[in-house]
Amino acid sequence: MDIIKKVKHTIEKYNMISMEDHILVGLSGGPDSVCLIQILHMLKPAYKLKISAAYIDHGLRPEDVPKEIEFCKYLCESLNISFYTQSIDVKSFAKNEKINIQEAARILRYGALEQISINIKAHKIAVAHNADDQAETVIMRLLRGAGPAGLSGIPPVRKKIIRPLIEVERAEIEKFLSEKNISYITDPSNESLKYLRNKIRKTLMPVVKSISPQATKIISRTADILREENDYINVAVTKALMRLMSRKTDKKVELFCNPMEVLNIVVLRRALRVAIDSVKDLKGLTFDHIEEIIKLIKTGKPGDRLYLPKGIRAIKGYSTLTVTAESPKKLSTYEIPKPMDIYLKEANIFLSLKEIKREELQDFGNGKSTIYIDMDKIKFPLIVRARKAGDYFYPFGFGKKKKLQDFFVDEKVPRDERDTVPVIESNGDIVCIAGYRLDDRFKIDDNTKRCLQIKIMPKL
């Protein structure tokens, strides 16, 4: 099959082009994009196409850009094709977004092509990825530890983007250009081995092809199979997410635990990835992080959590799993001038303080949700605050002084909850750690006449 028939077959196979489509071609002047625009021009009568082209200046090779633009402009004039140019600032974008140059260039390039297509009312945007690009992409993603979605490679069609050369090998493109005596420009950056793709292209692929001459075709076919299976899994994932999703904000996502505990691992892994990646501040978690979250779902107890990179935390509740990038809350400082009720909004709890006579005391509380204090050993106003560096107290029943930090560790208080645990102090001394332990110095004894009852109640 010659290259024209092969491209036409790809177009029909993936339903890339409709009759009378206006197609914007991403044109760099390199062999692939020149081949693409020439073939589309040849197919123009068959589909009654309108073709335009755009050159995107990335701002990375200022010495080469003018001649490349001139070449592309001349080529388009010879084919009677409208030609557009647009500049993008890749370096600044990469710095601001903290991503590598190649990723920044890709994002801005597609954004620029999209904008031009809107301006000129183009139906499709054609780019010149070929079968070798596909094979290199699959290998590159395999080396980076990608899953089935990543190994499905470059999609032939993605929204408005079409890739008519995706089943054509680079050797076929070079042969076509040579036979037709069509000139093109060579980008010197394609020779640099500082980029992973170029290393794979220049060093690895020749070895692979020496072992299996059909390697490009085989890898591309494998990518097609994985893509079809991936599409099937995505349907199952979409259905699963309808049952899993509880709520989502700009910084966190909350999912129901029960359905996840019985969900097929393949679907669960993908559903977690989709749900987490849908929240901007949660992006960047790896496959290993997803596996840790799955382990938390399957074997964790309510209250268990994972501390992940970039301040991200996964917290298993009684019925939900929360993955969040929100900064842990910190309790404000409250002053209690007398026995009264007070709401601590950061901890979402009420403190109810009530004075009672010693003879009215029927039990000594549980030391956690209900605490009794010798009222004559404290001095109002009481201060309720978050922990401070160097805090210490004398835990009831422990018999000696203990650092609050060590107490929290021993009690397994999660790190991200420690700043919301109310520390109640009187005259600079810690009276109790609300919800956890009374200080031994303020306990009721045989000389106690008045008691202060402190009840800690969560807001319903």
**Was 152 annotated as part of a binding site?**
no
Burial string for 176-204 (b: 16+ CB within 10 Å, else e) reads: bbeeeeeebbeeeeeeeeebeeeebbeee
**Was 29 annotated as part of a binding site?**
yes
Neighbours of 235 (CB within 10 A): 9
**Was 28 annotated as part of a binding site?**
yes
Confirm if 7 and 39 have CB atoms less than 8 A apart. yes
Confirm if 55 and 27 have CB atoms less than 8 A apart. yes
**Was 365 annotated as part of a binding site?**
no
Report long-range pairs for 443-446 (Cβ below 8 Å, ≥24 apart).
443/373, 443/374, 443/396, 444/358, 444/361, 444/364, 444/372, 444/373, 444/374, 445/374
Strands 370-374 and 423-426: unpaired
**Was 30 annotated as part of a binding site?**
yes
**Was 33 annotated as part of a binding site?**
yes
Neighbours of 135 (CB within 10 A): 26
Neighbours of 69 (CB within 10 A): 16
Neighbours of 90 (CB within 10 A): 22
- What is the length of the chain? 460
First CA to last CA distance, the chain: 71
List the one residue out of 312, 316, 7, 293 whose CA is nearest residue 172: 7
List the one residue out of 319, 190, 188 whose CA is nearest residue 261: 319
Alpha-carbon distance of 206 to 222, in angstroms, equals 19
Binding-site residue numbers are 28-33
Binding-site residue numbers for ATP are 28-33
